[in-house]
Structure 1
Amino acid sequence: MAPKVLVSDKLSETAVQIFRDRGVDVDFMPDLGKDKDALAAVIDQYDGLAIRSATKATEKLLSRATNLKVIGRAGIGTDNVDKEAASKAGIIVMNTPFGNMITTAEHAIAMMFAVARQIPEASASTHAGKWEKSKFMGVELTGKTLGVIGAGNIGGIVCDRARALKMKVIAFDPYLGEEKADKMGVEKVELDDLLARADFITLHVPFTDQTANILSRENIAKLKKGVRIVNCARGGLVDEDALADALKSGHVAGAAFDVFKTEPATDSPLFNLPNVVVTPHLGAATTEAQENVALQVAEQMSDYLMTGAVTNALNMPSVTAEEAKVMTPWISLSGHLGNFIGQMTDEPITAINILFDGTVSDMNLEALTASTIAGIMKKANPDTNMVSAPVIAKERGIKISTTKQDKTGAFDGYMKVTVVTSKRERSVAGTVFSDGKPRFIQIKGINIDAEIGAHMVYTTNEDVPGIIGLLGQTMGKHDVNIANFTLGRSEAKGEAIALLYVDEPVPAEALKELEGAGMFTQVKPLSFDVA
């Protein structure tokens, strides 16, 4: 059955058609997002939810979304989505950070011009029939120093446009490397240096614990006298009260704001101050940008629902369509390895280490790690998936570590998962053969070659005669057909293991019979999600 998507905000008909063309069943109800009760009543019918800003994906709504797999936000901001609740529910949250980059960057440049030349005030004065030419004395951008806080996607475009205007550009961004800064033609500086030197400052960072109030009262006091500040990023990055005071005192010459701490902004300390330009969050408000993000979110959601490709996800590693084709059997293997070790472990896990050897070490390790953790967590919560598992592991204080290495053995690539508890360490390794089927290749350090089936039985024992006969006889007695039988041992007469792949779950009576035979140290039924 085709996956089903609800579009609850205003997306273009072209975007809606993309879902249909990709084989996705879509309901286009652009006003439903405004009615939270009506939305909650139907949300459990959908695999995907496509939204703009009107729909609020709250924890309460998501608790009703029992079939939801992905939320796609047409735009960059996801303040209207409870991402923590979505992650715990295993729902991918996607945005479209690139569709409105040009538009937002252009708005920042336009706002810079507007505040430099006092264009809104001059326009209003002239409309009123005044001719106050001497009142609106502006400043040139050419030759001025622009301080860019955040030189990522949008900030990088602003840097490029500013350099074309012959401005000197300095940037504060902890993630900007010296080589990239040189390539961009900007000078990388610390924040205090930027505050002291910049004639204009523009902000292009998300709102996080680290960036909240980055232009605080204390930092505003450090600004060069006569500076002009532009914020087209997020409200809450600037202390609006402190900025208003600095504008009134003349320490700051002007400001241009498209975003505010509280939106819709019907009141602000910045309103009605001279040489303050304000717009109602228009950064992405162009016809081109609105269409671009709508088309992108439809493509991204369709790709995920139809092929498993993950693009621009905020709570899960991205996996391209090309990667998905190559990685699908390895994703399956990593889940099986985690599931095996999770079913074998009864005490609380304190640490998980995953070793990637050979060809697999060059793949998307974040995705494989998430899949492994999900497999481990399924014993405690069968609904755990690649989105929710890392969140659960973090909440439980489980330390996750990964190691990658060049090919070391007979296999082109393999994975080994080790879990640590207060009592023991337990490990299992596996690979994907040329037929695309995952195999277990080592358990407890004992080499094996075991095909993975939906129903399996794992036993440990001393390497003595009669084990194979006893297992076969017991399964036959209880009418359980053995599809595959794998044995392994550490050494002759040492510890031995067996993995039986059977056609149906083994009855409890058969397991008790094996346990009571006095020949096994462990008898464990296992189950795996095998397509």
Structure 2
Amino acid sequence: MKILANDGISPSGKAKLEAAGFTVVTDTVAQDELEAAINNEGYIGLLVRSATKVRQPLIDACPNLKMIGRGGVGMDNIDVDYARSQGREVFNTPASSSLSVAEMVMTQLFTLARSVYDSNRQMPDNGVSEFKALKKKYGKGSELRGKTLGVIGFGRIGRAVASYALGAGMKVVAYDLYPSDAPIEWHIEGHGTIAIKPNMVSMDELLAQSDFITLHVPKQDGGTAVLGADELAKCKDGVMMVNTARGGSIDEDALIAALDSGKVACAALDVFENEPTPREDLMKHPKLSLTPHIGAATLEAQDRIGLELADKIISITAVANS
């Protein structure tokens, strides 16, 4: 029973699979060589993150591939419905990375509010000669407490972000295509968990009310951005934004225009349209805080993801062999 973890798997996940009798290979195979590798090596399972694509031609060409696992949440790099229609098991790990992504969002909210992203660029080159000027420039930050955070997409990650934001004293409004009154669970170490009813609003209400906006949804059906020029125009002047969801959830051209006009004061991007080669004007924009798609990349999250993938593979195999 051979598994190809083409985008890697945590040591704990690999060890658990091997203890259950699987052979786990973590060598990365180039996209155009996957078909040959899967068929020649007899892999029954393929594990991916966001880099490897599993489309219909690959699924059709690899009849012995029984399982396709996505370490993480979004599965837009896999033709999920088609694979399942062909009897393949397709699964992801939606709960494992929620806290890590939520902490990245909070990191960026503080970074944007206090201009840390730009200060870190300027201090190495100009901190000695222009210390007083930089102190004045960055001495007009704002606190998160009392500000309104709009959460677009209120699944596991959106709810985790809301919990952290409430802990920081923020007001939280949320929008989701399928709104739910399920409570936000706010855990206070040593004091238990408090359940808080979410404040669900329409998209237009969220855009009008929010001082900060964080996205946790992919592009809309048809490939259009969730926030384009029309949506950005409805936001508060000087709004700050974070996107850790998917490249293109915010229209990149519209975002640059809004940053240049001051409509959006600044933004943080962890995801990009053309990964792994994002556009150069985004990389160099002075009002952007940038990270290379590392929202879920903590040691703790990777460990949870690997173990969850292993559990699902072991369970699927046990059912198939029963």
TM interval, shorter chain, is 0.7 to 0.9
The residue identity in structure 2 corresponding to 1:15 is G
Which residue among 278, 281, 284 is the counterpart of 2:293? 281
> Stretches of 4+ moved more than 4 A in 1?
none
- List runs of 5+ in structure 2 lacking aligned partners: 186-194
Cα deviation, 1:317-345, whole Å, max 9, x if unaligned, reads: xxxxxxxxxxx9xxxxxxxxxxxxxxxxx
Query: 1:6 is paired with a residue of what secondary structure?
Result: strand
Q: Which has the higher contact order (CA 8 A, sep 6+)?
A: 2
Which whole-Å deviations, capped at 9, do the CAs of 1:32-59 have from their partners, x for residues lacking one?
Answer: 4226326524436232222334433233
For 2:170, the aligned partner's letter is: M
C-alpha separation between the residues in 1 aligned to 2:31 and 2:265? 44
Helix, strand or coil at the partner of 1:159:
helix
**Among 92, 96, 114, which residue is 1:95 paired with?**
92
Q: 1:203 to 1:35 in 2, by over 3 A?
A: closer
Whole-Å separation in 2 of the counterparts to 1:210 and 1:169: 29
Deviation at 1:214, TM superposition (A): 1.5
1:140 aligns with 143
Structure 1 residue identity aligned to 2:125: A
After superposition, the Cα gap between the structure-2 partners of 1:210 and 1:41, relative to the gap in structure 1 and judged at 3 Å, is closer
Shift of 1:17: 2.1
The answer as to whether partners of 2:217 and 2:245 remain within 8 angstroms in 1 is yes
Deviation for aligned residue 1:261:
1.9
Within 5 Å, give how 1:269-418 maps onto structure 2: 269-308=281-320
**2:26 pairs with 1:25:** no
Q: 1:295 to 1:178 in 2, by over 3 A?
A: closer
Q: 1:219 to 1:268 in 2, by over 3 A?
A: farther
Shift of 1:249: 1.1
TM-score by length of structure 1 reads 0.54
Tell me how far apart the structure 2 counterparts of residues 102 and 51 of structure 1 sit (CA, whole Å): 20
1:165 corresponds to 2:168? yes
Distance 1:238 1:12 in 2: 31
1:195-252 alpha-carbon deviations (Å, 9 max, x no partner): 1111001111233418841211111111111111111111111111112111111111
Q: Does the 8 Å contact 1:217/1:242 carry over to 2?
A: yes
**Cα displacement string for residues 409-467 of structure 1 (whole angstroms, at most 9, x for unaligned residues):** xxxxxxxxxxxxxxxxxxxxxxxxxxxxxxxxxxxxxxxxxxxxxxxxxxxxxxxxxxx
Q: Quickly say closer, same or farther: Cα 1:68–1:79, change in 2 above 3 A.
A: same
Q: Does 1:127 align with 2:129?
A: no
For 1:199, which of 193, 206, 211 is the aligned residue? 211
| Mapped pair 1:34 → 2:30 | yes
Q: One-letter code of the match for 2:177?
A: P
- Taking a change above 3 Å as real, the CA distance of residues 168 and 241 of structure 1, as seen in their structure-2 partners, is same
Aligned-residue sequence identity (percent) comes to 39
SS at match of 2:227: coil
CA contact (8 A) 2:47 2:70 kept: yes
User: 1:154 Cα deviation (Å)?
Assistant: 0.4
Q: Which position in structure 2 is the counterpart of 1:70?
A: 67
**Structure of larger gyration radius:** 1
Q: Which stretch shifts more, 152-161 or 119-128?
A: 119-128
Report the counterpart of residue 152 of structure 1 in structure 2: 155
Local SS of the residue matching 1:102: helix
CA distance in 2, matches of 1:64, 1:244: 41
**Any stretches of 5+ residues in structure 1 without a counterpart?**
310-327, 329-531
> Could you say if the C-alpha distance between residues 294 and 181 of structure 1 is closer, same or farther in structure 2, counting changes exceeding 3 Å?
closer
Contact map agreement 1:201 1:229 (CA 8 A) in 2: yes
Output the aligned Cα RMSD.
Answer: 2.4
* Closer, same or farther: CA 35–214 of 1 in aligned 2, 3 Å: closer
What's the TM-score once normalised by structure 2's chain length? 0.87
Report SS of the residue matched to 2:257.
helix
Give aligned pairs, total: 306
Aligned mate of 1:12, from 10, 13, 18: 10
Amino acid at match of 2:141: G
- C-alpha displacement of 1:9: 3.4
Structure holding more strand per residue:
1
